């Protein structure tokens, strides 16, 4: 391979992309620019920057040098033209949707979504006459069948939060292309290290960077990645004028720090989760384990095609149902009872009463997840210690 045709690997990109220490006094890490505003050399320069005719920052709600390093790095990791970092995953989603859609437009969303995404789609967007149709996108034929003349956007996660079903990104992208609808994939569970939706034909990727990208449970943040033309609109309309969900430079700095070990962390989350998923599945108190690294997973082939590794999230159901699940959660000692995911600490939670309490019982049944489901975000602790803790609590 010649030098010019060689493109850096994932870790090199995550550590170096978009930043030259020699342009910043040799500082190894990107400087933290704690500033809300930026001085202009002249009135004419200020006007030119506002008009987009001159390069440069104007106000940190629309751009900041520390945040810009993070954005270029996220774009490179996802294989997108541009990225926008936001104050939270929900901030990324609302900035995107409010920018791209108007009254009368339609969304098709997978029936299983992160709780607050479901809340936005089911309970709030209809107030603005945006029509949301839920379909089981684990079968792409259901997407084809759900298309309507007003469908502008198709939204999915994969694996889905919390029940670990997969959606075939390439198949859905093909249907969206023919229907002139945009496919948006929430890639929070996988990160670009395990899955690159844009390579598979998706138009846009969203993230809760609160989770694996940050990776240390010390911040909230989000991102949208995709074509520069759309990202510019989401920045200058969605964040600048609609929701104001700009990320702080400090949080961007922490995510840049987290990204340096993203591939190492994901390797370890996955390796430990594979072992624990097998241990749990073999235990007599466990009715089912939902994990794309198990042969029992209904979409194991798709997982192998679409994901580099099965990831760190496991869902399980106990034979004793909800009561047994509650008792299991109360007995673990090492795993932390908490929502969120992607941290060094193993986190265990009960979606029906916690992250997915936005689904009422009828909605939970209709959308396909049970009250007894327990979700585990496998952390970076020693496997033997986690095994002892989880199997001991069973």
Where do contacts with ligand PLP occur on this chain (CB under 6 A)?
88-90, 114, 116-117, 157, 161, 186, 188-189, 208, 210-211, 220, 222
**Closer to ligand PLP at the Cβ: 146 or 220?**
220
Q: Is residue 61 annotated as a catalytic residue, yes or no?
A: yes
Q: How far apart are CA 132 and CA 118, in angstroms?
A: 10
Selected catalytic residue, list 19, 73, 110, 114: 114
Q: Is residue 105 annotated as a catalytic residue, yes or no?
A: no
Residue nearest to ligand PLP (CB): 89
**Closer to ligand PLP at the Cβ: 186 or 343?**
186
Query: b/e per residue, 207-222, with b = 16+ CB within 10 A?
Result: bbbbbbbbbebebbbb
**Closer to ligand PLP at the Cβ: 190 or 198?**
190
Query: Are 185 and 169 spatial neighbours (Cβ–Cβ below 8 Å)?
Result: yes
Task: Name the minimum Å distance from CB 125 to ligand PLP.
Answer: 15
Q: How far apart are CA 95 and CA 108, in angstroms?
A: 18
Selected catalytic residue, list 110, 168, 186, 203: 186
Task: Name the minimum Å distance from CB 184 to ligand PLP.
Answer: 11
Half-sphere exposure of 185 (CA within 13 A, CB side): 31
**Closer to ligand PLP at the Cβ: 286 or 377?**
377
Q: Is residue 114 annotated as a catalytic residue, yes or no?
A: yes
Q: Is residue 38 annotated as a catalytic residue, yes or no?
A: no
Task: Name the minimum Å distance from CB 253 to ligand PLP.
Answer: 17
**Closer to ligand PLP at the Cβ: 116 or 334?**
116
What are the angstrom distances between the C-alpha of 380 and each of 19, 270, 307? 28, 10, 20
Task: Name the minimum Å distance from CB 215 to ligand PLP.
Answer: 13
Token duo for residue 209: 């960077």
Task: Name the minimum Å distance from CB 268 to ligand PLP.
Answer: 19
Q: How far apart are CA 117 and CA 24, in angstroms?
A: 39
In 3D space, the residue among 359, 379, 354 whose CA is nearest the CA of residue 369 turns out to be 359
Query: b/e per residue, 94-121, with b = 16+ CB within 10 A?
Result: bbbbbbbbeeebbbbbbbbbbbbbbbbb
Residues with a catalytic annotation lie at 61, 114, 186, 211
């Amino acid at each position: 391979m010649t030098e010019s045709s060689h493109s850096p690997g994932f870790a090199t990109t995550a550590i170096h992309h978009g930043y030259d220490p020699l342009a910043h006094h040799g500082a190894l890490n990107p400087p933290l620019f704690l500033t809300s505003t930026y001085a202009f050399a002249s009135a004419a320069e200020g006007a030119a920057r506002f008009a987009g005719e001159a390069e440069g920052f104007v106000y940190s709600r629309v751009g900041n040098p520390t945040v810009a390093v993070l954005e270029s790095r996220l774009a490179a990791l996802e294989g997108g033209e541009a990225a926008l970092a936001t104050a939270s995953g929900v901030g990324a989603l609302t900035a995107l949707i409010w920018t791209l859609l108007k009254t009368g437009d339609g969304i098709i969303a997978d029936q299983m979504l992160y709780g607050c995404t479901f809340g936005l789609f089911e309970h709030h967007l209809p107030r603005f006459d945006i029509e949301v149709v839920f379909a089981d996108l684990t079968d792409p034929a259901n997407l084809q069948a759900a298309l309507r003349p007003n469908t502008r956007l198709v939204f999915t996660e994969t694996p889905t939060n919390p029940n670990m079903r997969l959606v075939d990104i390439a198949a859905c992208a093909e249907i969206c292309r023919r229907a002139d609808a945009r496919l948006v994939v929430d890639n929070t569970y996988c990160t670009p290290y395990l899955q690159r939706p844009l390579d598979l034909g998706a138009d846009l990727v969203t993230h809760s960077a609160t989770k694996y990208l940050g990776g240390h449970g010390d911040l909230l943040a989000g991102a949208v990645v995709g074509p520069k033309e759309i990202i510019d609109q989401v920045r200058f309309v969605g964040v600048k004028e609609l929701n104001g969900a700009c990320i702080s430079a400090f949080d961007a700095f922490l995510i840049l720090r987290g990204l340096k070990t993203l591939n190492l962390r994901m390797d370890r989350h996955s390796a430990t989760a594979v072992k624990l998923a097998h241990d749990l599945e073999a235990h007599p108190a466990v009715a089912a384990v939902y994990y794309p690294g198990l042969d029992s997973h209904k979409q194991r082939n798709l997982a192998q095609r679409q994901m580099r590794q099965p990831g760190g999230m496991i869902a399980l159901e106990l034979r004793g149902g909800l009561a047994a699940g509650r008792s299991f959660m109360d007995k673990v000692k090492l795993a932390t009872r908490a929502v969120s995911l992607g941290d060094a600490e193993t986190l265990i939670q009960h979606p029906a009463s916690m992250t997915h309490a936005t689904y009422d019982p009828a909605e939970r049944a209709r959308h396909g997840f049970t009250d007894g489901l327990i979700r585990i975000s496998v952390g970076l602790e020693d496997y033997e210690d986690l095994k002892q803790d989880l199997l001991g609590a069973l």
